[in-house]
Amino acid sequence: MKIAIIGGGPAGLYAAILLRKQRPLAEITVYERNRADDTFGFGVVFSDATLDNFEKYDPPSYRRITQEFAYWDDIAVHFRGTVHRVGGNGFCGCSRRKLLLILQERARELGVSLRFETEIDDESRFADADLIVLADGINSRFREKHIAHFEPEVDVRSNIFAWMGSTRPLDAFTFIFQETEWGPFIAHAYQYEAGRSTWIFETDPATFKRAGLEGLNERQSADRMAEIFGWFLEGHPLLTNRSMWRNFPMIRSRRWVKDNMVLLGDAKATAHFSIGSGTKLAMEDAIALTEAMEHAPTVGAALEQYEQGRREEVEKTQHAADVSLVWFEHVDRFWEFDPVQFAFGVMTRSKAITYDNLTLRAPDFVAEVDKAIARQVRAKGFNVDVEKPLAPMFQPMRLREMELANRAVVSPMCMYSAKEGVPTDFHFVHYGSRAIGGAGLIFTEMTCVGRDARITPGCTGLWNDEQEAAWRRIVDFVHANSAAKICLQLGHAGRKGATKLMWDGMDRPLEESGWDIVSASPIPYFPDSKMPREMDRAAMDAVKGAFAQAAERGERCGFDMLELHCAHGYLLASFISPLTNRRSDEYGGPIANRLRYPLEVFEAMRAAWPAHKPMSVRISATDWAEGGITGDDAVDIARAFAEAGVDLVDVSTGQTVRDAQPVYGRMFQTPFSDQVRNEARVATMCVGNITTSDQVNTILAAGRADLVALGRPHLVDPAFTLKAAAWYGADGVFCPPQYLPGKEQIFRNSVRDRQDFEDLKIKAKPKTRAELKAEAAKPLAAE
Ligand SMILES: Cc1cc2nc3c(=O)[nH]c(=O)nc-3n(C[C@H](O)[C@H](O)[C@H](O)COP(=O)(O)OP(=O)(O)OC[C@H]3O[C@@H](n4cnc5c(N)ncnc54)[C@H](O)[C@@H]3O)c2cc1C
Ligand SMILES: Cc1cc2nc3c(=O)[nH]c(=O)nc-3n(C[C@H](O)[C@H](O)[C@H](O)COP(=O)(O)O)c2cc1C
């Protein structure tokens, strides 16, 4: 077999090593345009898990690599004169140059032919090769040459960064967030061998300009960085090596394989440096390719298997990198945070590390975070314990005069079980049991302001006395038997009205006994949905009046809070999104116009609703669709509602148009809540695939939301909050006297269960290489 590899970086060299081990008779040649020791950059970083992989696939190179490594366990966050250290991270650094020399040496030993100073610009010279590996890096000429086939998507990020080095020793992966007269600068720094550390500097384009970095040469810009970070460098110089300031390109390719050619490493996909995974991904691609070549009958089948098998892992890493880079791009959002909360945000930014996980590794750090949050709550007039604070989920909160006992919320969820809009026994039991279950706040399902405002024939309403009486009974039960507050969500279905019950076909039009529907513009939801009528002034006034009347009825029912539903493509959302609003009057066009009617409705409700009671608005913070609402629009929308008197923005997303492309995942909507909360400076509630109390605490502790709503988890577990309270020892959680024996039991058992769980986790956790190295270096204890 003949294999040509273009590019002698980590991907190309490691692929050459592994493929040659697998096929000792194969003729494998690596073509590299640079000289053998002519490498750029400083150190690379690997996690312990990646090193385990290297050990498995090629022990000799693993041993040589690890001999050269600098190990560390801690991450240190320097911010506004403070430093917070968190251990147990298990990372290693190595010189990129040494890594490449080790891989070259190992490849040679195995009989790989290495051709340096050989630039390849055409694959036709490899016509007789069975396999051509395109490992030609981030600016891959071959990816670009076959652009129509590989279809790369290049997202050039806004922040500007440069890779430098220093002799400054470091005993932790170090993040420094530095305020300057020009704006914030960030250093990501780690040691990779004795006396050498990598320094990546990053800043936003405006700060870059203000700092006068434009037009400076490498040395001058290094001097500018040395001035800014001089206090930390302690006289150590900054070193340069092709240390140009650049924008990071996030690259994703639709295809990785063309005939017998395959993209590997940075050539196919990149991952932002802030999660230190570029070299790891490149070398693990080589592992995946070799695995596929082992098992598949032909090269073609192997390449297909490589792409299919590897894509999910790469995309997951890229997603984590995306979330992380966005955090760094928006660091100014958190600049006013308490430093320990800021550091918690750094640690948990890409979702892999959580509150519980940090509690195991760095209990003192988490205790400090809890205290900082308790102090903020105390400053709002609550008499909470600051020395031994409860977990963030169990901190109280106030909106106007409504006090919530904790931050867990039952999200609004249609039950499709009403009769002519009247809530039934099902609703009574449903809301009642969730209130008893301990959540601080319960939302009603979208309750419609008129018969024709309903989504389905099973939706609840609040336009007549019978409905009002049924709701009053539910509210009274909640108030009499729980500590929960209850919020009425009012809405109008708009163009998604007159549709079937969820279990008969979500959003599908009713075949019989439907009703006339209205929307901002006459655009049906499905092509075969009923055509909505564009609302005229009279219809707008009538619906606005219906919202205000329903708010008055809500007050008579005794609801504690009121929410206006402006999300998910329903009537008011259809005004806000440009995808569903094509109006040419003063309610269409720019965002300020599209918001006009929803704000008019909000103001009418606010006037009808008692001033001491809070109001929220649910928005879709993105349409997940080209030309639709984005996170930046959501900030403007939130600001407009805040000015109109909203107390909380309930941040959901999507469901506006059929062809949306949502990116699902754990806590997938939380970044939008984070953006709205910390840019518009308004209290938010987040929701969406949040399933554990650990996630709830992580979100709250990082300041990404003020309240956390859970929908589906509450459908199967009304006592979600009570159980979480037992886990975190929050024994002040409300429990009705009838259920106290159950509460006592779960609280007693939880102490032991939690201890067992933590012991197990600690026992199951292998020692990091840094810990092993430290142990080996310790002198034997005297007998
Ligand atoms: C200037 C620079 C500095 C970096 N510094 C660091 C760092 O300090 N730490 C870190 O962790 N990561 C660093 N990175 C990123 C990291 O190196 C990559 O994520 C990782 O190296 C990807 O490996 P790769 O093999 O896919 O690509 P690369 O390492 O980029 O290797 C591609 C190789 O292909 C060669 N090549 C390209 N085109 C041709 C051609 N037509 N013919 C022949 N040869 C060709 C290139 O010369 C290069 O050696 C740096 C990247 C750059 C560009
Ligand atoms: C059955 C069901 C009904 C829903 N009904 C409503 C509703 O009436 N109003 C609303 O704003 N959101 C509604 N939603 C959305 C939820 O409030 C929540 O935002 C969504 O389920 C994501 O949260 P989760 O992942 O915790 O379930 C509904 C969701 C489900 C699953």
Ligand closest to 92 (CA) is: 1
Q: Which atom of ligand 1 has the smallest separation from the CA of 279? A: 20
3-state secondary structure of 154: strand
pLDDT band (50, 70, 90) for residue 161: very high
Whether the per-residue pLDDT at 782 is higher than 60: the answer is no
Ligand 1 pocket check for 12: Cβ under 6 Å = yes
Q: Does residue 393 contact residue 408 with C-beta atoms inside 8 Å?
A: yes
User: Of the residues 18, 33, 198, 284, which should be mutated to test ligand 1's pocket, given the most ligand atoms within 8 Å of the CB?
Assistant: 33
Q: Which atom of ligand 2 has the smallest separation from the CA of 502? A: 1
pLDDT for the residue numbered 783: 32
Q: Which residue has the tokens 């791009």?
A: 329
Q: Are strands 485-491 and 447-448 parallel, antiparallel or unpaired?
A: parallel
In angstroms, the CA 30 to CA 118 distance is: 9
Beta bridge partner(s), residue 190: 198
Could you read off the pLDDT of 516-550 as tens digits, one per residue?
999 999 999 999 999 999 999 999 999 999 999 99
Q: What is the mean pLDDT of the chain?
A: 94
Ligand 1 pocket check for 8: Cβ under 6 Å = yes
pLDDT for the residue numbered 776: 67
- Cα-to-centroid distance, 140 and ligand 1 (Å): 10
In angstroms, the CA 341 to CA 380 distance is: 17
3-state secondary structure of 238: strand
- Cα-to-centroid distance, 408 and ligand 2 (Å): 15
Nearest to 459 by CA among 490, 435, 429: 490
Q: Does residue 143 contact residue 135 with C-beta atoms inside 8 Å?
A: no
Could you read off the pLDDT of 539-596 as tens digits, one per residue?
999 999 999 999 999 999 999 999 999 999 999 999 999 999 999 999 999 999 999 9
pLDDT for the residue numbered 496: 96
| Residue 379, both tokens | 């400053």
Could you read off the pLDDT of 298-330 as tens digits, one per residue?
999 999 999 999 999 999 899 889 989 999 999
Could you read off the pLDDT of 666-675 as tens digits, one per residue?
899 999 999 9
Could you read off the pLDDT of 268-290 as tens digits, one per residue?
999 998 887 899 999 999 999 99
Whether the per-residue pLDDT at 780 is higher than 70: the answer is no
The amino acid at residue 244 is M
CA distances (Å), origin 724, targets 396, 729, 743? 15, 8, 11
CA pseudo-torsion sign 27, 32, 38, 44: negative
pLDDT for the residue numbered 251: 96
CA distances (Å), origin 86, targets 76, 99, 645? 7, 28, 41
Count of other CB atoms within 10 angstroms of residue 184: 16
Residue nearest to atom 30 of ligand 1 (CA): 137
* Angle at CA of residue 491, ends 535 and 669, nearest 5°: 110
User: Of the residues 136, 243, 272, which should be mutated to test ligand 1's pocket, given the most ligand atoms within 8 Å of the CB?
Assistant: 136
Count of other CB atoms within 10 angstroms of residue 24: 8
Q: Are strands 261-263 and 257-258 parallel, antiparallel or unpaired?
A: antiparallel
pLDDT band (50, 70, 90) for residue 779: low
* Nearby residues of 676 by Cβ (< 8 Å), 6 or more positions away: 621, 631, 634, 635, 638, 649, 651, 682, 684
Whether the per-residue pLDDT at 340 is higher than 80: the answer is yes
pLDDT for the residue numbered 48: 82
Count of other CB atoms within 10 angstroms of residue 245: 17
Residues with CB under 6 A from ligand 2: 411-414, 445-446, 489, 502, 565, 567, 618, 652, 687-690, 710-713
- Cα-to-centroid distance, 278 and ligand 1 (Å): 9
Residue spans of beta strands (DSSP E) within 384-472: 397-399, 402-404, 408-410, 441-443, 447-448
- Cα-to-centroid distance, 472 and ligand 2 (Å): 23
Q: Which atom of ligand 2 has the smallest separation from the CA of 712? A: 27
| pLDDT over 90, % of the chain | 86
3-state secondary structure of 266: helix
Could you read off the pLDDT of 38-68 as tens digits, one per residue?
777 788 888 888 889 999 999 999 999 888 7
User: Of the residues 409, 410, 414, 564, which should be mutated to test ligand 2's pocket, given the most ligand atoms within 8 Å of the CB?
Assistant: 414
Could you read off the pLDDT of 184-237 as tens digits, one per residue?
999 999 998 888 999 999 999 999 999 999 989 999 999 999 999 999 999 999
pLDDT band (50, 70, 90) for residue 512: confident
Whether the per-residue pLDDT at 613 is higher than 50: the answer is yes
Whether the per-residue pLDDT at 708 is higher than 60: the answer is yes
Whether the per-residue pLDDT at 72 is higher than 90: the answer is no
Phi–psi pair at 484, nearest 5 degrees? -70, 150
Question: Residue by residue, what is the 3-state secondary structure of 87-144?
Answer: CCCCEEEEEHHHHHHHHHHHHHHCCCEEECCCCCCCHHHHCCCCEEEECCCCCCHHHH
- Mean pLDDT value of segment 721-735: 96
Whether the per-residue pLDDT at 759 is higher than 90: the answer is no
In angstroms, the CA 664 to CA 668 distance is: 6
- Cα-to-centroid distance, 138 and ligand 1 (Å): 7
In angstroms, the CA 342 to CA 339 distance is: 5
- Cα-to-centroid distance, 530 and ligand 2 (Å): 24
What is the radius of gyration, based on Cα positions, of the chain? 29
Query: How far is CA 564 from its chain centroid?
Result: 26
57 part of the active site? no
Whether the per-residue pLDDT at 504 is higher than 60: the answer is yes
Task: Give the distance between the most distant pair of CA atoms in the chain.
Answer: 93
pLDDT for the residue numbered 276: 78
Ligand closest to 141 (CA) is: 1
DSSP structure string for 641-681 = HHHTT-SEEEEE---SSTT------TTTTHHHHHHHHHHH-
Catalytic residue among 570, 587, 597, 728: 570
Residue nearest to atom 10 of ligand 2 (CA): 412
pLDDT for the residue numbered 173: 92
- Cα-to-centroid distance, 413 and ligand 2 (Å): 5
Ligand 1 pocket check for 29: Cβ under 6 Å = no
CA pseudo-torsion sign 639, 641, 644, 645: negative
pLDDT band (50, 70, 90) for residue 777: low
Q: Is 388 exposed, middle or buried (0-12, 13-18, 19+ CB in 10 A)?
A: exposed
pLDDT for the residue numbered 30: 98
Nearest to 618 by CA among 764, 768, 492: 492
Could you read off the pLDDT of 95-134 as tens digits, one per residue?
899 999 999 999 999 999 999 999 999 999 999 999 999 9
* Angle at CA of residue 699, ends 696 and 702, nearest 5°: 140
Count of other CB atoms within 10 angstroms of residue 470: 22
pLDDT band (50, 70, 90) for residue 242: confident
Whether the per-residue pLDDT at 764 is higher than 50: the answer is yes
Phi-psi domain of 591 (left: phi exceeds 0; alpha: psi -120 through 50; beta: other): alpha
pLDDT for the residue numbered 781: 43
Least confident of 112-121, 358-367, 695-704: 358-367
pLDDT for the residue numbered 49: 83
Torsion of CA 322, 328, 330, 331, to 10 degrees: 150
Could you read off the pLDDT of 150-159 as tens digits, one per residue?
999 999 999 9
pLDDT for the residue numbered 45: 87
